Amino acid sequence: MIKLILSVLVIGAISLFPGTAEAAVMGPSMQKLTWHYYKVYNTCENAENFVRHQVEKFYKNDTSIAPKLLRLLYSDCFVTGCDASVLLEGPNSERKAPQNRGLGAFVIIDKIKKVLEQRCPGVVSCADILNLATRDAVHLAGAPSYPVFTGRRDGLTSDKQTVDLPSPSISWDASMAYFKSRGLNVLDMATLLGSHSMGRTHCSHIVDRLYNFNKTGKPSPTMNKSFLSEMANKCPPRTKKGQTDPLVYLNPDSGSNHSFTSSFYTRVLSNKSVLEVDQQLLYNEDTKQISEEFSASFEDFRKSFALSMSKMGSINVLTKNEGEIRRDCRRRN
């Protein structure tokens, strides 16, 4: 059934954009945006090329920008929508929320914005830059170069109290409810969690799985025993105040290469997921089938990723006269 659903989505995408197998199905929010907006309206014809060139320069020196930008985009879109509010600075801004500890890649967006302001002043939004830069970075890491519809405007507020990003130990039901609240479905959830095929997380996000699963005082009973031992060596119990909080790879198979790969799903099926929210994919029949399919077919994962990323990028976007086009992504005009 899941295979059929995925096939229908991909066929629908191809019909929207003939010759582009990695195109997006347009939902109501996405219809507010425009394919190649800055070229169509002749405001900054080469905007997307400028973004891509800067991302390529950064990526050559640091492949970790791909997962960093992915997390930054997720942290933006899933809170108040894709309005670049996470980029705003301030003592009570979104980036100060506990869930956003360790967010990176701000300097990349700042650099791209500076370049675009030199070439097309006051035209390209920070929200569009974040979406385009993320697409280009993950493409360099092995993901598809999915279409990013543009024309977003930047939000005027950023409040850490609005940040409701869930715990990495969230249950399947709670995770599904969270994704549904953002207009995304079960296939989107299973696909977007595949972003954890690269990047790192703090040990504090997984010690409950290793030592006190569901407050039992014991490790997760489903976690692969050899992997449990491996992770316990890297993440000791948190027993002392001021204890260091090491970083571990979300997908040890990808590791420092930060490559986009379907091995994430193979690890899910082998009970070797680092985060509990990822392992939960195995405990629902639909997401288990999706994981099996993506583990067997990297191309199916790539196609679904293209669709789901385009959908995520259209969550609660601001367009036309809403918001503003920031001159500096860190502060309002």
pLDDT at 270 over 90: yes
- Is 89 annotated to bind a ligand? Reply is no
pLDDT at 1 over 70: no
* Structural domains in the chain plus CATH codes: 34-162 (1.10.520.10), 172-309 (1.10.420.10)
pLDDT at 227 over 70: yes
- Rounded mean pLDDT of the chain? 91
Give the pLDDT score at 80: 94
- Is 245 annotated to bind a ligand? Reply is no
CA distances from 25 to 30, 42, 146, 297, 305 (A): 9, 25, 11, 21, 12
Verify whether residue 71 is a known catalytic residue. yes
pLDDT at 22 over 50: no
**Tokens at 93, concatenated:** 């801004």
pLDDT at 324 over 50: yes
pLDDT at 224 over 70: yes
- Is 286 annotated to bind a ligand? Reply is no
Give the pLDDT score at 256: 86
Average pLDDT over residues 246-258: 92
- Is 253 annotated to bind a ligand? Reply is yes
pLDDT at 11 over 50: no
Read off the pLDDT band of 246 (50, 70, 90): very high
What's the rounded Cα separation, in Å, for the pair 213 and 217? 7
pLDDT at 4 over 50: no
Average pLDDT over residues 8-34: 50
**Tokens at 109, concatenated:** 């967006």
pLDDT at 2 over 80: no
Candidates 109, 103, 154, 153; CA nearest to 132 is: 109
Taking only the tens place, the pLDDT of each residue in 51-107 is: 999 999 999 999 999 999 999 999 999 999 999 999 999 999 999 999 999 999 999
Give the pLDDT score at 86: 98
- Is 76 annotated to bind a ligand? Reply is yes
Average pLDDT over residues 279-294: 96
Read off the pLDDT band of 239 (50, 70, 90): confident
Candidates 304, 323, 305; CA nearest to 32 is: 323
Taking only the tens place, the pLDDT of each residue in 151-208 is: 999 999 999 999 999 999 999 999 999 999 999 999 999 999 999 999 999 999 999 9
Cβ neighbourhood burial of 287 (10 Å; 0-12, 13-18, 19+): buried
Give the pLDDT score at 278: 97
- Is 94 annotated to bind a ligand? Reply is yes
Candidates 281, 95, 251; CA nearest to 179 is: 281
Choice between 88 and 256, residue whose per-residue pLDDT is larger: 88
- The one catalytic residue in 71, 135, 153, 267 is 71
Give the pLDDT score at 331: 97
